[in-house]
Amino acid sequence: MMRVLVTGGAGFIGGAVVRRLLADSGTIVFNLDKLGYASDLTGIQQQLVGSVAERHVLQQVNLVDAETTVAAVQQADPDLVLHLAAESHVDRSIAGPEEFLASNVSGTFNLLQAVRKHWEALPRERQEQFRFHHISTDEVFGSLGKSGRFSETTPYDPRSPYSASKAASDHFVNAWHHTYGLPVVLTNCSNNYGPWQFPEKLIPVVILKALAGEPIPLYGDGANVRDWLFVEDHVDALLLAATKGKLGHSYCVGGHGERTNKQVVETICTVLDQLRPQGAPHAGLITLVADRPGHDRRYAINASRISSELGWQPRHGLEQGLEATVRWYLSNLDWCQAVLQQAGYSGGRLG
């Protein structure tokens, strides 16, 4: 039975990966997470029924602690590692960059060292099958003008503390491949959205502010562009790249979902007008606020490599995915309140 170590499995995307592995494969999943402010296991726990429960092992570990990380990797004894653990919110990286350096750079370094030790000691047959998949972001490529898209050959140009820390972690992963031969695959993905996302990122923030009748904060002029991807489509891409991607290669993953922030916010408001009419259109709550410092203007992904080499395509259009996401949040408002309270975050402006 295959043993998979997922780091960051109590987070938004890692949680979706863990749920998919538990549902669709017979793998034993070792879920390594420090259980930080953005972590929550509710969605996974709902699935831990009968024999599935025996295939999920939670490891509460902070990757910043090298010794505990080595012990966790030894306990997991993995055939495949999916590394998602990271501090992930750009606004928080502006307010407190130290944690991003610690978790995303030192944490990745400690994991690489622990995994190398494990991989080097594996019997030949398992060693040849072993893979380490590093999950990164399109933000390492910087900011686009009006035209063009990021691809695997775009030079790195990170511009926020978050993206600088992710770029550094990508370089460490590549260095461990070239220097030590560690069998790695990387993916660089655009903005994810969907169920179970901690309500600090744009889409859940907008839904909760609109429902509360509070101002919906739109940074700057609202014309910054992101390329939105439904989280389950990202999981499809991750599992393909992890198992079939070429070693030493990276794959860009995007949703063909380029929109301005204003367009995204207005679409959510329109969906809410239909599902939760409140007398006046929700779009009346949209409020331009001070811009994010160093705000990247536009991201867009050319996903032709993963599409042609591995046959990946997103299955959800943005409008369809947004409506499903709004419906999910409407049915899970108690969860939103619980995680916000647990994190000690009241929804105020960060960064």
Binding site for ligand NAD (CB under 6 A): 8, 10-14, 33-36, 38-39, 62-64, 84-88, 103, 107, 135, 137, 166, 189, 191-192, 198
Give dist(CA 167, CA 170) in Å, integer: 5
| Minimum distance of ligand DAU from residue 262's CB (angstroms) | 9
205 binds, among ligand NAD, ligand DAU, none (CB under 5 to 8 A by kind): ligand DAU
Which listed option, ligand DAU, ligand NAD, none, makes contact with residue 62 (CB within 5 to 8 Å by class)?
A: ligand NAD
Rounded to an integer, what distance in angstroms lies between the CA atom of residue 105 and that of residue 109?
6
Least gap, CB of 169 to ligand NAD (angstroms): 8
> Tokens at residue 348, please?
């105020």
CB 143 within 8 A of CB 297: yes
Binding residue (CB under 6 A) for ligand DAU from 33, 40, 139, 266:
139
Q: 33, 40, 139, 266: which is the annotated catalytic residue?
A: 139
**Catalytic status, residue 162:** yes
Out of 33, 40, 87, 138, pick the active-site residue: 138
Residue 308 CA to residue 311 CA, distance in Å, equals: 5
Concerning whether 258 is annotated as a catalytic residue, the answer is no
> What does the block give as tokens for 340?
């916000």
Cα-based distances in Å from 301 to 82, 152, 239, 294, 311: 22, 9, 19, 20, 16
Nearer to ligand NAD, 118 or 133 (CB): 133
Residue 143 CB coordination number (10 Å): 17
Neighbours of 183 (CB within 10 A): 16
Q: What is the C-alpha separation between 89 and 199, in angstroms, rounded?
A: 11
Which residue in the set 219, 328, 335, 345 belongs to the binding site for ligand DAU (CB under 6 A)?
A: 219
- Residue 279 tokens, joined: 């007398």
138 binds ligand DAU (CB under 6 A): yes
Contact call for residue 137 and ligand DAU (CB under 6 A): yes
Nearer to ligand NAD, 222 or 257 (CB): 257
Residue nearest to ligand NAD (CB): 11
Residue 309 annotated in active site: no
Residue 7 touches ligand DAU, criterion: CB under 6 A: no
- Convert residues 161-200 into a mask of x (bound to ligand DAU by CB under 6 A) and - (unbound): -----------------------------xx---------
How far apart CA 189 and CA 314 sit, in angstroms, is 12
Residues of this chain, 275-334, that bind ligand DAU according to CB under 6 A: 292, 299
Residue 63's binding partner out of ligand NAD, ligand DAU, none, with CB under 5 to 8 Å set by partner kind: ligand NAD
The span from the CA of 35 to the CA of 68, in Å, is 15
CA 316 – CA 256 distance, rounded (Å): 10
Query: Regarding beta strands 225-227 and 250-253, do their DSSP bridges make them parallel or antiparallel, or are they unpaired?
Result: unpaired
202 binds ligand DAU (CB under 6 A): yes
CB of 239 to ligand DAU, least distance (A): 19
Q: Work out whether 103 is an interface residue with ligand DAU (CB under 6 A).
A: no
C-beta separation of 48 from 55 below 8 A: no
| Active-site hit among 33, 162, 227, 233 | 162
Q: Tally Cβ neighbours within 10 Å of residue 79.
A: 17
Helix (DSSP H) and strand (DSSP E) numbers for the chain:
14, 13
Q: Are 101 and 54 in contact (CB under 8 A)?
A: no
Q: Which does 198 bind (CB under 5 to 8 A by kind): ligand NAD, ligand DAU, none?
A: ligand NAD
Q: What amino acid positions are annotated as catalytic residues?
A: 138-139, 162
Binding site for ligand DAU (CB under 6 A): 88-90, 137-139, 190-191, 201-202, 205, 217-219, 224, 226, 261, 292, 299
